[in-house]
Amino acid sequence: MAQGDSFLIRPSRGAADSMQLLIDDVRGFAAAGRLQSAVAIDASGNPVNSGTAVISQPSISSGSGLPLAANMVFSFSDDADGAGNSGFVISNGPAPPNNYILYDPATESAGKSFPSSANPSQFDSFGGLSFRISGTPTVGDQLIVRNNTNAATGDNRNALALAAMQSQDRMLNLSASYSEVYSQLVAGVGASTRQAEASLAAQEGLLERNRASQEEVSGVNLDEEAAKLVQFQQAYQASAEMIKVANSLFDTLLSAVR
């Protein structure tokens, strides 16, 4: 490098050249839920459960523990907790060994949501999982929750959850929704704009009053000045007449002395 050398740096000159379309198919958008549920099936794809129990598509509240290391299998037992209470024993996946959820087909076949109030932290360790089971299972029937690697057509749970966030309290320490905060922002901008307009009008009025006061002190009123000129002209003419009369009297006195 020698004295006088210069260098031109254009960090964004070729930025547009590297831009390319990555998604050209709507199926590339992550609109589906991360997990899906199903009943157990055989190798031919036929259901193997003899009961009528079904499980809803699961919802998650976080990404903790996802994707699942293995399928979560819920096997119905009439002694799930070892104390004679029916429910589903959970095996595989991230569930702890011998974990279970209680479900009584005799009284809860219309549907029961999990995690229930009796087990509020049952699924916190893997995505904050929640779902609903209904129907009447028989012993050995299995329900499955697994990674959604082959989303069904029309599965837009993730997109719906994203759309629902606009009305959920997730802002200002979970006390306001996105739409409410946006409305407050718009209202604040409008109020500030109106206040600025009012301040501008007040300052313009003050400026006009100051200009008027200045003109009253140092300005020139043409009508007033013209009237004064007429007065000065008349006074000059009167003085000229007095001088003329005095001159005539003086001449008369001089003539009398001669």
The answer to whether the pTM exceeds 0.85 is no
Task: State the average pLDDT for the chain.
Answer: 83
pLDDT in tens, 63-95: 777 888 888 899 999 988 888 889 998 887 555
**Do residues 137 and 53 lie in contact, with contact meaning Cβ atoms separated by under 8 Å?**
yes
The larger pLDDT score, comparing residue 63 to residue 103, is at 103
pLDDT in tens, 158-193: 888 888 888 888 788 888 888 888 888 889 888 989
Q: How confident is the model at residue 140 (pLDDT cuts 50, 70, 90)?
A: very high
Q: What average pLDDT does the segment 48-65 reach?
A: 88
Specify the DSSP element, H or E, that contains 151: none
Please give the single-letter amino acid code of residue 223: D
- Look-up: residue for tokens 């499955």? 144
**Do residues 76 and 142 lie in contact, with contact meaning Cβ atoms separated by under 8 Å?**
yes
Q: How many CB atoms lie within 10 A of CB 93?
A: 20
CA atoms of 200 and 188, how far apart (whole Å): 18
**Do residues 132 and 19 lie in contact, with contact meaning Cβ atoms separated by under 8 Å?**
no
Angle subtended at Cα 14 by Cα 9 and Cα 20, rounded to the nearest 5 degrees: 155
Please give the single-letter amino acid code of residue 109: S
